[in-house]
Amino acid sequence: MPPFETKPEAGYTPVAKALHWLVVALLFCQYALAWTMPHMGRDTKPDRMINLHLSFGLLILLVLAIRLAWRWTHREPTPPAGLPAWMVRSSRAIHYLLYGLLVLLPLLGWINASFRGFDVSLFGLLRLPPLIAARTPGFAWTGDVHSLLSNYLLLPLAGLHITAALYHRLVRKDRVLERMLPAAWT
């Protein structure tokens, strides 16, 4: 299958748009939880906020898996004519980095929650297995790396992604942003 949709005016499919905006909404909730939940020390027992952080993170992982499956079975829209090749390449690189981080971060969080001996479940409805045994030596770093990458890599990359979308809309005045907006807004 060619990587791009053949009709230049085509946007993303309604399913791709819904999954994109669902991940955005879940990330808003996830950062609000991450920045207000209690600090986790060695003997912290997970409270409601921490459990919600674990559940929203797992939900993001689940939606991402569906999103990647959709992405690999459906064409993406053709880049607008006249877009420099470096821009197309760098935007794809950022998209892949974002996808990669949105898989890696929840997995690191899940490993760290397992390391801490937390029960990990999806909103208390579906219990998930630990990824490693509690206090497995050599895994203490997973929490710090999870927090650092979430705060200092995912957020700046998301900022770059949003800046690029606004640049297309306000400076180049092409349809790049519109292709991902709900049909009613375009």
Q: Which residues bind ligand HEM (CB under 6 A)?
A: 30, 34-35, 40, 53-54, 57-58, 60, 102, 105-106, 109-110, 112-113, 120, 143-144, 146-147, 150-151, 154
Q: Which is nearer to ligand HEM, 30 or 78 (CB)?
A: 30
Residues constituting the chain: 186
Rounded least distance, CB 54 to ligand HEM, Å: 4
Say whether 151 sits in a helix, a strand or coil. helix
Q: Compute the distance between CA of residue 69 and CA of residue 75 in angstroms, rounded to an integer.
A: 12
Specify the residue, 52 or 165, whose C-beta has the smaller distance to ligand HEM: 52
Question: Least distance in Å: CB of 8 to ligand HEM?
Answer: 33
Q: For the CB of residue 120, give the shortest distance to ligand HEM in the complex, in Å.
A: 5
Q: Which amino acid is at 8?
A: P
Closest-CA residue to 157 (of 100, 118, 109, 112): 100
CB of 162 vs ligand HEM, minimal distance in Å: 16
Closest residue to bound ligand HEM by CB = 143
Closer residue to ligand HEM, CB minimum distance, 89 or 140: 140
Kindly tell me which of 40 and 181 has the beta carbon lying closer to ligand HEM.
40
Nearer to ligand HEM (CB atom), residue 15 or residue 24: 24
Give the long-range contacts of residues 121-130, CB within 8 A, separation 24 or more: 121/51, 121/54, 121/55, 122/55, 122/58, 122/59, 122/62, 123/52, 123/55, 124/51, 124/55, 128/58
- Please report which helix (H) or strand (E) contains residue 65, including its range: helix 48-73
Question: How many CA atoms within 13 Å lie on the side-chain side of 75?
Answer: 13
Minimum separation from the CB atom of position 44 to ligand HEM (A): 9
